[in-house]
Amino acid sequence: MSDGITPPEIDKLLTQITTYKNPFNVIGVLPEDDNDTIHKKYRKISLKCHPDRCHHPLSNAAISCLSKAIKAIEDEDQRKKYTDLMEQARIQLMTELKNKGELSKINTNSDEYRQLLCERCEKIMAETEIKLEKAEKIRQANLKREKEELQHQEEIQKLQKQQEEDWENSRQQRFNNWRSFMSKKNKTLNSNEHKPIKPPKATLMN
């Protein structure tokens, strides 16, 4: 392996690059590092990971991740977003170390501290992603329920409208049936009026 880097080291490097979400962590720099330092680190690590020099299954993916990371850092809004995230991670980490009584033992310029900060940052991002996914699931469930309720109401309205149309369409038939019934009734009454009234039969007395 070129540049004196060993296979285990390149495995670790490529795994970190392709796993980390924070662009500062991907390149291995901090928000307070100046642009020259960041770009030098980017170029150096890109050379180590380039497929032409590093025949590793993750090399292509690593180059892609590095490219996205440097673009994010160069974007003002994205850089501020991840800088704020790093500051949140820093505050959490320092508070935790203080509570454990380990704050005085840690060198904030050491690789150990950088690694702890990196891990805390990734943890925050993972937790945030889980919360966002949960919120999205709730939103989708609410949308589904609202859609089903709307469909239910539309079905009810459709049924009511159909019943009204059926009732309206059958009005003439009901009128005809009623007229036919009354006509027959009147004929029966008229027929009974013209029938002679028969006297009661005489009863013979013994």
- The model's pLDDT over 112-135, given as tens digits with 9 standing for 90+, comes to 888 899 999 999 999 999 999 999
- Averaged over 82-89, what is the pLDDT? 94
pLDDT given for residue 61 in this prediction: 92
Domain that holds residue 120: 2-147
Residue 33 lies in a domain: yes
Q: Measured on CA atoms in the order 122, 69, 59, 5, is the torsion positive or negative?
A: negative
The rounded radius of gyration (Å) of the Cα atoms in the chain is 43
CA 82: distance to chain centroid?
A: 22
Residue 48 lies in a domain: yes
Question: Which amino acid is present at 56?
Answer: H
CATH number at 71 reads 1.10.287.110
Mutual orientation of helices 59-74 and 35-49 as an angle, nearest 10°? 170
Structure tokens at 120: 């805390």
Q: Cα separation of 49 and 47, whole Å?
A: 5
Least reliable range by pLDDT among 84-98, 122-136, 155-169: 155-169
Residue 102 lies in a domain: yes
Least reliable range by pLDDT among 73-77, 83-87, 183-187: 183-187
How many structural domains comprise the chain? 1
Residue 85 lies in a domain: yes
Structure tokens at 95: 């508070």
Residue 198 lies in a domain: no
